[in-house]
Structure 1
Amino acid sequence: MKEKETLTEEQQKEMLAKYDKESAYRTDPKKWAFIIAFISISLTIFHLWRAYPAHGPLVYLLQGAVHLGTALGLIFLLYPATKKGLRKPGVPWYDVVLAFLAMGCMYYILFRYDWITGAARILGFTTLDITVATIGIILLLEATRRAVGLPIVVIASLAILYGMYGTNIPYFGHGGFDWSGLSRRLFYSSDAIFGTPIQISSTYIYLFLFFGVMLTKTGVGQYFNDLAFALTGRFTGGTAKAAVAASAMQGTVTGSSVANTVSSGSFTIPMMKRAKFRPEFAAAAEASASTGGQIMPPIMGAAAFIMAEYVSGVSYSDIIIIGIIPAMLYFTGVFMGTHYEAKKHGIRGLSKEELPSLKGILKRLDLLLPLVAIITLLVQGFTPTTAALWGIGAAFAVSFLRKDTRMGPRDIIDALIQGARVALPVIAACATAGIIVGVVVFTGLGGKIAGGLLNLAGDNLFLLLFFTMIACILLGMGLPTTANYVVTASMAAPALIAYGVPDIAAHFFVFYFGIVADITPPVCLAAYAGSGIARANPMKAGVTAFKLAIAAFIIPYVFVFNPVLLLEDATFWTLLPVLITAILGMAAVSATMMGYFVYKPFWYERILLLAAGLMLIYPENLPIELSGLALFILIGFVQYLRKKRDNDNNSEPATV
């Protein structure tokens, strides 16, 4: 299959650095390259060592101090203070100082652990303790600004200011903290910087990110692309459908919508353009599918691990099983949108000669063994740590089955280095999100926000969901997936739970709407990245991505009103009708958005299609759902007759 017009590896790096803050790191640190490599390898080996069952993780403060301290040191060595620094080789002296100062502040906990967890809580923390905490918090915020972006730092800074000066704010006021009290709570407790997010990051998330690196070394990314094209490329609009399928598969092992858009899109977007899809649509299809990768189990943008800790009585293996149906519904919706767009413009599939050989793909089926192994172990009840270790080992073993993927010493070293590098933004985001969550916990702000949302919505669940959705999208515009979920789970989910929404449905609701911010204008980074590859108008690409991903705006409401989609007290006979009506409803709404159903609709037919779609997904009201189904079938039949008539008369298609 031809691959011309695809981006080179260097062009992909430039594109990522432009649209993805996490990828804007130094590529030529000169004499510091060895030190960076040594620290990176040491960090990865530390996590593998502590994950081994015979050892186990250290206590939360010690494990977190090594995890976060080493990561902060690497961030200052790798991420420049400004974009101009990317073009300069080497590492400035001040970044070296900041790197080792940040490591020193975190490692201080290692040396003072007995004091911090013992006598200090009775006798009081010393001036040195508070000074170290202050410097550590400041350096954490600066490192996060460099590796993740400014918005999360602004929110964390506002949270700190609220913790100190929020005593007189109407309704949201609290008892107040001085800096000494607040800083020690943020830095030395299990409720803030070293709280649940960083604890999960230092045990599970790091290992799964390293697992993704190991899979990449075996060429599984290209394999996903080839498999997707072989399965869907021959159908109507095959290139776009293949892009959706490839991104769904990529989403099982990756956790960044922008990175997924660039890596997959560098190949799929030029293919879609050659098939005569509009550049804006090509960019939007890849962006919406890549964003959906963050809701695809088992990784789910690394948020699944934290969700398992936040939702009582639900394990990580439960989360990935529960997440399958909503994820498949999302990709079904995007798939429908690409189909309607292709039918609207008469875009056919690829010829057999243009597609990869299915026989050749089946010969490489062993590349999926590590992914199968890790999912199987998780479903069988093994801990995520054990499953990740076996998955990493399986990926390493599978690489030796063929010469082009066999990992030599240089490849192993590079994988250990990459394992640390891809984890840095996640670690920084988790730690900074911990500051926000800590302040919410210390001040009781979460309960007040929940109460405020409930008062604002009155006794109307739909209004409460709508206000929560807006809050999640706004936060999602500035926060990465994991941090966004951590914050919204602490601030927005309690309001839904207080209303009576099942815990798991409330957490999935805020999780979904935090993610779709990447394709919601005006701040739609995944769509911007895709438009850069497609040379398309970024805002038009964002609007089109929003239309394609309309399912993501419908599904969360469906599983709140019908928790059976999340397997809550579900049986086959209760799940089946909800699935059918949800799929048909999405088909109608997607047709409305894309301007094509069985045939090009008149304007009033689009309105009726939208009404039919909303009626089909109306919760537990059989007469309304049946009315929506009847309207859906009627519009389809009328359009079929009109299409048949126009074809028989060989006339121009009806105008929209």
Structure 2
Amino acid sequence: MTETELKSAEDMVAEADTGARQAGAFATRLIFWLCVTWSVFQLYIASKVPGIVAQATGINDFANIVAQARYVHLAFALALATLAFPIFGHRHKIPLYDWALLVAGVSACLYLVVFRFEIADRPGLWTTTDIVMSAIGMGVLLVAVFRSLGLPLVIIGSLFLALAFFGGYSSWIGSITNYGGASFSKAMGHYWMQTEGVFGVALGVSTTMIFLFVLFGALLEKAGGGNWFIKVAIALLGALRGGPAKAAVLSSMMTGMISGSSIANTVTTGTFTIPLMKRIGFSPEKAGAVEVASSTNGQLTPPVMGAAAFLMVEYVNIPYIEVVKHAFLPAVISYIALLYIVHLESLKLGLQGLKKPGRHIGVVMIMVLFLTGFLGMAVITFAVVSFRAMLEPMMPGATVYPALVLLGAAYIALTYMASRFPDIEVDDPNAKAVSAPRLTPTFLGGAYYALPIFVLVWNLMVRTEHLDRLSPALSAFWATIAMVVVSMTHRPLKAFFRGEHHMVEEAREGVRDFISGLESGARNMIGIGVATGAAGIIVGTISLTGAHQIIGQVIEVISGGNLIILLLLVAVLSLILGMGLPTTANYIVVSSLMAPVIVSVGAQSGLIVPLIAVHMFVFYFGILADDTPPVGLAAYAAAAISRGDPIKTGLVGFSYDIRTALLPFMFIFNTDLLLINVGPVKAVFVFFVSLIAMLLFAAATQGYFIAKSRKWETAVILLIVFTLFRPGYWLNQWQDQYTEVTGPAAITALGDLPVGTPARLQVSAPDFDTGIVGTTTVVLTPEAEGSGEERLQAAGLAVMENDGILQLDEPFPGTPFFDILANDYDFYGDEPAQIASVAIENDRMPKEIFFIPAFILLLLIVALQSRRATQPAF
């Protein structure tokens, strides 16, 4: 790749993610120091320092700033967006109007800090100054979004503002939502002066969690960890058939786990891997598409998921560890399937891998190495847990200190080991002779980079009798501190162990890496900061107007109650809404608008799925927008490196990602994929069956399995895939899933249910706004023994039998069904609300029995294609 191409790709990242302003020395220094200050401020509020300083000085403002942090957070984001992202082509100067916007935006944010006590004394009674500052803040925010993210989010936010201001004039909207309109004063106060809009949950999560994870990733990258990921991936997979493409998949996954941007991920790893893929025979479009598909999927991979994981904690209201558990299996299956797609492409093109010195590592050995790595981490974790448990009686609550000594000893040992090998340099992918490096010196030459990641995962995941998991924010803080130590000390330590005499210069380089990481982390957060603020406009409008009901009714009418059409519509709308948005804003938008539609409209058609499955569904399709033409920004970044056509790159990337588009439909209908109510043994079984199904689906979409597939063979493979992913469909054709009972018999059936066994209640009631009788389905799971009436009463449902009809009173406030039923249905109209039927699941044969004919068909396909194979399958 030429220097011009690299500059073009880096410029695209700057324009899309970090800011492309180059306005002279003063502006550069100002932006730099603002970035560093922002990062230091975020570390400060995440630590215990504010409380310690407040206690030592008696000045409570040192501690109070933590409560006001989201206002300061947005002030930094607005200031940097205004300075770093030019508008109207002013790239080489900062015009006067930008300075005015900077002062106005920062003042509007800090107004809420300076006058917080006065504002608290008059909640809802906004003064003229309040409204003026709110209007200024909203205006500067939308301009900042346009600068840093382009028009898509500005258009969406403006449409929702228009709905808030003018929706009350529409009788159609009023009949759906009961919304009568809002005055300018009420709307501005709602959006800016309280935590219902811009300064809501999303910006709060950005302030407390997302920034730290992005900063952690930036420090790791600047210290050399990103290059280590790439080199290890090349060393491990580069010599295999199509090796550079497989290495691109693995390195993008590792980088994507801690990256908040698919575009930056594409350029970071693609700079090296795309030219290598072209060299071994991939076309520019296919080389770019592999990198794009790999990088966008990194946003779906725990523990960070493009920062969406932390928003899911708030929106779905489940612990972080549960989000990781549910997201893990689909992400792993998706990446393995992408590796297989790359392998099939290599087979079709007859490609080879890179040359490699030393012993060749085969597929079986790679699998053994991966398994050994996982087992090794498990053993280390168990050993540390046992060590701390042994010390707990002697030093209760203080075992973290000897654990830190162990961590320090491990770091010194790994750094010493790394000093025995040459430093891991960034290779030139355009060099005349490119070979895959040897695995052992490459891995050991940077293994110490894994320690901060281990700290992060430990704090997020490990919980024992004596140890509690830390919050995501604290986990990221301590991992970042560990990364700061590594960033500043690994260079001088290696120089010391090598007996070199330039330790001071190496220490200076470490400090430069650290400061550069602080700058990079803040720059990467500019778009996320303003995006989470702007996304608050959408969330605020929904709480003000009930806008999701409008979208729900439109989709309900178009789908006609058909579940598949409903899900397809939501998938397409999620793709459209996600175009041009960063991962975090993408998730906020699609989850706020589309998730309630699946929940409410689906329930009317009898589709009851866990809320996390719904959020994962819309998130997956929102993320696919990054490589979907015509807006797929990651595809444009990859095409800038590969010199391919960006539209073709996006189309090929999307064809690779069809496997990712299949998964959300599968885990809506088969929640086993999300490990919901699945034990360890069954989890392993589900993993292998789902993996086989996804690999077969990849083979079907590529038209190549062991040999080139015939059309009927592709059809049979797709039938096998469907059976493996959703065996319950065939069982439902044979045996009824539920027995429905009505009237008094339904109450008796509820009383006979074993504790913990769910029953589906179909509720019929007039719509609160239209009076039209509709139905919805809710799930009741008895938690204690009792009669049917007692169990309903425990869930907040009061039922009275009247001529065989189970009339239902309005659910009690605070009970599970109050929000589901009381907000949408009229319990006091002429038509009575009632429990129309109760459906209880039948005791049936296991659905997995249908795997047997599926695998028999698979063996038949294998036997037929093996005869036509012209080259080894691996």
Tell me, yes or no, if structure 1 residue 94 matches structure 2 residue 97.
Answer: yes
Find the counterpart in structure 1 of residue 319 from structure 2.
Answer: 315
| Root-mean-square deviation over aligned CA pairs | 2.3
- Alpha-carbon distance change, 283 to 377 in structure 1, aligned in 2, over 3 angstroms: same
| Closer, same or farther: CA 239–7 of 1 in aligned 2, 3 Å | farther
Structure 2 residue 386 is the aligned partner of structure 1 residue 386 = no
Q: Look up the match of 1:653.
A: none
- Equivalent pair of 1:6/1:267 in contact (CA under 8 Å): no
Q: In structure 1, how many angstroms separate the alpha carbons of the residues matched to 2:727 and 2:87?
A: 51
Offset, 1:284 = 0.5
Contact 1:308–1:316 (CA under 8 A) maintained in structure 2 = yes
Shift of 1:638: 0.9
2:96 corresponds to 1:106? no
Bigger fraction of residues in strand: 2
- Supply the distance in 2 between the matched residues of 1:570 and 1:415 (Cα, whole angstroms): 41
Question: Shift of residue 647 of structure 1?
Answer: 7.7
Identify which range, 344-353 or 410-419, moves more after superposition. 410-419
Match of 2:71 in 1: 65
Number of the residue aligned with 1:184: 189
Q: Normalising by structure 1, report the TM-score.
A: 0.92
Structure 1 residue 95: deviation in Å? 1.0
- Which amino acid is the alignment partner of residue 75 of structure 2? G
Q: 1:41 aligns to what? A: 36
Partner of 2:438: 357
Residue in structure 2 matched with residue 337 of structure 1 by the alignment: 341
Inter-partner Cα distance in structure 2 for 1:581 and 1:627: 14
Tell whether 2:521 aligns with 1:396.
no
Query: Aligned partner of 2:109: which letter?
Result: M
Q: 2:655 is matched with which residue?
A: 547
CA distance 1:321–1:402, change in 2 (3 Å) = farther
Task: For residue 299 of structure 1, report the CA deviation from its aligned partner.
Answer: 1.4
Question: Shift of the alpha carbon at 1:624?
Answer: 5.4
C-alpha displacement at 1:587, in angstroms? 1.8
CA contact (8 A) 1:81 1:146 kept: yes
Check the 8 A contact 1:76/1:143 in 2, yes or no: yes
Which residue does the alignment assign to 1:494?
Answer: 596
Counterpart of 1:641 in structure 2 is: 867
Deviation at 1:98, TM superposition (A): 1.1
Q: Which residue of 1 is the match for residue 213 of structure 2?
A: 208
Q: Are residues 398 and 647 of structure 1, via their aligned partners in 2, closer, same or farther at CA, if it must alter by over 3 Å?
A: closer
Letter in 2 for 1:469: A
Q: Aligned pairs, how many?
A: 635
In structure 2, C-alpha distance between the alignment counterparts of 1:586 and 1:453, rounded to whole Å:
30
Give the direction of change, closer, same or farther, for the CA distance of 1:7–1:582 in structure 2 (3 Å limit).
farther
What residue in structure 1 maps to residue 311 of structure 2?
Answer: 306
Within a 5 Å distance, the mapping from 1:66-465 to structure 2 comes to 66-82=72-88, 84-86=89-91, 88=92, 90-121=93-124, 124-169=125-170, 171-173=172-174, 174-312=179-317, 314-353=318-357, 354-363=435-444, 364-380=446-462, 381-399=469-487, 400-403=489-492, 407-454=509-556, 456-465=558-567
Give the match for residue 48 of structure 2.
53
Residues of 1 paired with 2:79 and 2:727: CA distance?
51
Structure 1 unaligned residues grouped into runs of 5+: 649-656
The aligned residue for residue 416 of structure 2 is none
Gaps of 5+ in 2: 52-62, 358-434, 463-468, 495-505, 731-846
Query: Residues 442 and 607 (structure 1 numbering): CA distance in 2 closer, same or farther, change over 3 Å?
Result: same
Kept in 1: contact 2:5–2:640 (CA 8 A): no
- Contact persistence 2:591–2:618 (CA under 8 A): yes
The alpha-carbon distance between structure 1 residues 273 and 460, as it changes in their structure 2 partners (threshold 3 A), is: same
Moved more, 329-338 or 633-642: 633-642
Instruction: Report if aligned partners of 1:333, 1:549 keep a CA contact under 8 Å in 2.
Output: no
Deviations 1:288-344 (A, max 9, x none): 0000110111111111111101112x1223322332211111111211110110011
Query: What's the offset of the Cα at 1:21?
Result: 2.0
* Worse-superposed segment, 536-545 or 370-379: 536-545
In structure 2, C-alpha distance between the alignment counterparts of 1:636 and 1:220, rounded to whole Å = 42
Q: Return the alpha-carbon distance in structure 2 between the equivalents of residues 60 and 130 of structure 1.
A: 25
Overall identity of the aligned pairs, in %: 35
Alignment of 1:613-652 (within 5 A): 613-620=721-728, 621=730, 622=847, 625-643=851-869
The residue identity in structure 1 corresponding to 2:541 is V
Structure 1 match to 2:701? 593
CA deviation map 1:99-143 (0-9, x unaligned): 11111111111122112222253xx21111111111110110000
Counterpart mapping for 1:20-31 below 5 A: 21-31=16-26
Aligned equivalents of 2:123, 2:645: Cα separation in 1: 58
Question: What secondary structure is seen at the aligned counterpart in 2 of 1:190?
Answer: coil
The structure-2 alpha-carbon separation of the partners of 1:508 and 1:7, relative to structure 1 and needing over 3 Å to count, comes to farther
Q: Is this contact kept in 1: 2:234–2:244, CA < 8 A?
A: yes
Can you list the C-alpha shifts for 1:483-519, whole angstroms capped at 9, x where unaligned? 1211222221123333221011111111111101112
SS for the counterpart of 1:55 is: helix
Q: Give the match for residue 14 of structure 1.
A: 11
Contact 1:374/1:390 (<8 A) preserved = yes
The 1:272–1:22 alpha-carbon spacing in structure 2 relative to 1, beyond 3 Å, is same
CA 1:425–1:443 in 2, change beyond 3 Å: closer, same or farther?
Answer: same
Partner secondary structure for residue 311 of structure 1: helix
680, 703, 707: which one pairs with 1:572?
A: 680
Within 1, Cα distance between the matches of 2:647 and 2:180? 45
Matched-pair contact (CA < 8 Å) for 1:287–1:545: yes
Q: Determine which structure has more spread, i.e. the larger CA radius of gyration.
A: 2
Q: Distance in 1 between matches of 2:285 and 2:302?
A: 28
CA distance in 2, matches of 1:25, 1:11: 12
**Could you list the per-position Cα deviations for residues 11-30 of structure 1 after superposition, in whole angstroms to 9, with x for gaps in the alignment?**
4422424xx52244213443
Secondary structure in 1 aligned to 2:299?
helix
Task: Give the C-alpha shift of residue 538 in structure 1.
Answer: 2.0
Deviates more, 1:569-578 or 1:514-523: 569-578
| Greater mean deviation of Cα atoms: 150-159 or 172-181 | 172-181
